[in-house]
Structure 1
Amino acid sequence: MNAIEVILAMLAAVVASGYLARLSPLSLPLPLPLVQIALGALIAGVFHAGVTLDPATFFLLFLPPLLFLDGWRIPKSGLARDRAVVLELALGLVLFTVLGAGFLIHWMIPAMPLAVAFALAAIVSPTDPVAVSAIAARTRMPKRLMHILEGESLLNDASGLVCFRFAVAAALTGTFSLAGAALTFLWLALAGVAVGAGTTLAISLGQRWLAPRVGEESGSSILLSLLTPFAAYLLAEAAHASGILAAVAAGITTSYVELRGRTTAATRVQRAAVWDTVQFTLNGMMFVLLGEQLPRILQGAMASVEQSGHLSPWWLAVYALAINAGLALLRLAWVWVSLRLTMYAARRRGEAVRKPHWRLVVATALAGVRGAITLAGVLTLPLLTPAGEPFPARDLAVFLATAVILISLLTASIGLPRLLDGLELPEEPAERQEEDLGRRQAAQAAIAAIEQAQFHALREAADADVYANAAAHVISLYQHRLALDGSVPGDTDPEQLRKADRAEREMRLAGLRAERETLFALARQDRISDHTARRLVRELDLMESRAR
Structure 2
Amino acid sequence: MTSTFFILIILLAVVAAVIGHNHLSIIPLPLYFIFVGIVISLFPLYHNFTFNPELFLFFVVTPLLYNEAQSASRYWIGRGAINIASLSIALVIATVVIVGAALHLLFPVLPLALAFALCAIVTPTDASAVSAFAKPNPNFQIPFTILQNESLFNDASGFVAFDLALLAFATGTFSVNGAVGVFILEFLGGLVIGAIIGALFHFVRKQLIAFGDDRPFVMIALELIVPFLVYFTAEHLNLSGILAVVAAGLVQGVENDNLQLISTRMQLVRANIWEIVEEALTGFIFILLGVSLPTIISHITSRTPGLLLQLILLGFVLYGLKLVIRLLWTRYLVWMHVQSKHRWTDSWLMAVSGASGTISLSLAFLLPTITNHNATIDRNALIFVVSIVILLSLTVAAITVPKITQLPAATVEEKPLAQWTREMIMTAMNHIRNNTDHPAEAQIVVDALSQQLHQTNRSNHRERRKLYELAYAAEHAAITEMHTHGEITADEFKYYKEFLDLSLLTVDNNLVQNLLLRIRFGIHTGRLYQDLQTGQDMFFTTPLIAEQYYWQKQFAAHHEDIRPIEEVGFQAALAALKGYRHEKGSGITVELHAVQRFYRERHRRINMPSPDEQVVYQLFLAAFHAEYEFFQAAINRGDITIDMAEALQQHIVFDEMAYIQNNGTFIN
Q: TM-score, normalised by structure 1?
A: 0.72
CA change 1:355–1:373 in 2 (3 A) is same
Aligned partners of 2:375 and 2:652: how far apart in 1?
Answer: 56
Aligned partners of 1:139 and 1:303: how far apart in 2?
Answer: 49
2:132 corresponds to 1:134: yes
Deviating more after overlay: 244-253 vs 329-338:
329-338
Quote the offset at 1:400 in angstroms.
0.5
Quote the offset at 1:109 in angstroms.
2.7
2:591 is matched with which residue? none
Quote the offset at 1:416 in angstroms.
1.8
Aligned partners of 1:355 and 1:213: how far apart in 2?
Answer: 52
Quote the offset at 1:542 in angstroms.
6.1
2:420 corresponds to 1:419: no
Quote the offset at 1:48 in angstroms.
4.6
Quote the offset at 1:97 in angstroms.
0.8
Task: Work out the number of aligned pairs and report it.
Answer: 438
Structure with more relative contact order (C-alpha pairs < 8 Å, separation 6 or more): 1
2:395 is matched with which residue? 410
Quote the offset at 1:39 in angstroms.
0.5
Mapped contact 1:375–1:402 kept (Cα < 8 A): yes
2:386 is matched with which residue? 401
Aligned partners of 2:71 and 2:365: how far apart in 1?
Answer: 26
SS at match of 1:259: helix
Mapped contact 2:300–2:307 kept (Cα < 8 A): no
1:314 is matched with which residue? 309
Mapped contact 1:265–1:541 kept (Cα < 8 A): no
Alignment equivalent of 1:79, drawn from 77, 80, 91: 77
2:292 corresponds to 1:293: yes
CA change 1:57–1:538 in 2 (3 A) is farther
Mapped contact 1:101–1:326 kept (Cα < 8 A): yes
SS at match of 1:179: helix
Aligned partners of 2:204 and 2:373: how far apart in 1?
Answer: 45
CA change 1:113–1:141 in 2 (3 A) is farther
Mapped contact 1:383–1:390 kept (Cα < 8 A): no
Cα displacement string for residues 7-45 of structure 1 (whole angstroms, at most 9, x for unaligned residues): 2221111001111112226xxx10000010010011001
1:45 is matched with which residue? 42
Cα displacement string for residues 470-500 of structure 1 (whole angstroms, at most 9, x for unaligned residues): xxxxxxxxxxxxxxxxxxxxxxxx99967x9
1:371 is matched with which residue? 357
2:20 corresponds to 1:20: yes
2:99 is matched with which residue? 101
Alignment equivalent of 1:159, drawn from 157, 160, 167: 157
Quote the offset at 1:135 in angstroms.
1.5
SS at match of 1:370: coil
Alignment equivalent of 1:359, drawn from 345, 370, 382: 345
Cα displacement string for residues 43-88 of structure 1 (whole angstroms, at most 9, x for unaligned residues): 0013451542111111111111111111111122223223323322
Aligned partners of 2:614 and 2:292: how far apart in 1?
Answer: 63
Aligned partners of 1:259 and 1:75: how far apart in 2?
Answer: 9
1:448 is matched with which residue? none
Aligned partners of 1:537 and 1:193: how far apart in 2?
Answer: 38
Quote the offset at 1:279 in angstroms.
0.3
Cα displacement string for residues 95-146 of structure 1 (whole angstroms, at most 9, x for unaligned residues): 1110122112222332222111100001101111121122225888722211
One-letter amino acid matched to 1:105: L
One-letter amino acid matched to 2:403: R
Cα displacement string for residues 233-266 of structure 1 (whole angstroms, at most 9, x for unaligned residues): 1111111111010110011000112234296222
Aligned partners of 1:241 and 1:3: how far apart in 2?
Answer: 31
Mapped contact 1:139–1:421 kept (Cα < 8 A): yes
- Within a 5 Å distance, the mapping from 1:442-461 to structure 2 comes to none
- Within a 5 Å distance, the mapping from 1:106-505 to structure 2 comes to 106-136=104-134, 142-209=140-207, 215-261=213-259, 264-302=263-301, 306=304, 311=306, 313-339=308-334, 342=335, 353-385=339-371, 393-422=378-407
Aligned partners of 1:226 and 1:282: how far apart in 2?
Answer: 14
Aligned partners of 2:613 and 2:387: how far apart in 1?
Answer: 66
One-letter amino acid matched to 1:39: V
One-letter amino acid matched to 1:415: T
Cα displacement string for residues 438-457 of structure 1 (whole angstroms, at most 9, x for unaligned residues): xxxxxxxxxxxxxxxxxxxx
Q: TM-score, normalised by structure 2?
A: 0.59
1:9 is matched with which residue? 9
CA change 1:142–1:2 in 2 (3 A) is same
SS at match of 2:46: coil
One-letter amino acid matched to 1:215: D
2:16 corresponds to 1:30: no
SS at match of 1:313: helix
One-letter amino acid matched to 2:394: L
Quote the offset at 1:334 in angstroms.
1.4
Quote the offset at 1:419 in angstroms.
3.2
1:65 is matched with which residue? 63
Mapped contact 2:331–2:344 kept (Cα < 8 A): no
Quote the offset at 1:317 in angstroms.
2.3
Mapped contact 1:234–1:243 kept (Cα < 8 A): yes
Quote the offset at 1:4 in angstroms.
2.8
Mapped contact 2:121–2:360 kept (Cα < 8 A): yes
One-letter amino acid matched to 1:165: D
Aligned partners of 2:50 and 2:376: how far apart in 1?
Answer: 16
Alignment equivalent of 2:86, drawn from 74, 85, 88: 88
CA change 1:496–1:9 in 2 (3 A) is closer
Aligned partners of 1:243 and 1:373: how far apart in 2?
Answer: 14
Quote the offset at 1:300 in angstroms.
3.3
Give structure 1 stretches of 5+ with no counterpart: 347-351, 427-493, 509-530
Mapped contact 2:14–2:283 kept (Cα < 8 A): yes
Aligned partners of 2:167 and 2:280: how far apart in 1?
Answer: 31
CA change 1:204–1:78 in 2 (3 A) is closer
